[in-house]
Amino acid sequence: MSGQSLAGKKIAILAASGVEQVELVETRDAVRAAGADTAIISVPSGVQDGRIQAMNSDIVPADTFQIDSLVSAVSVDDFDALILPGGTINPDKLRQDAEAVAFVRAFVTSGKPVGAICHGPWTLIEAGVVRGRTLTSWPSLRTDLRNAGATVVDEEVVTDNGLVTSRKPDDLPAFCAKIVEEFAEGRHQS
Q: Is 176 known to be catalytic?
A: no
On whether the CB atoms of residues 71 and 97 are closer than 8 A, the answer is: yes
Give the span between the Cα atoms of 43 and 45, in whole angstroms: 6
Annotated catalytic residue, options 52, 114, 118, 125: 118
Structural Rg of the chain based on CA atoms: 15
Residue from 115, 123, 152 nearest 137 by CA: 152
What DSSP string runs through 94-144? Answer: HTT-HHHHHHHHHHHHHT--EEEETTTHHHHHHTT--TT-EE---GGGHHH
Q: How far is CA 103 from the centre of its chain?
A: 12
Annotated catalytic residue, options 119, 133, 167, 178: 119
Catalytic sites, residue numbers:
118-119
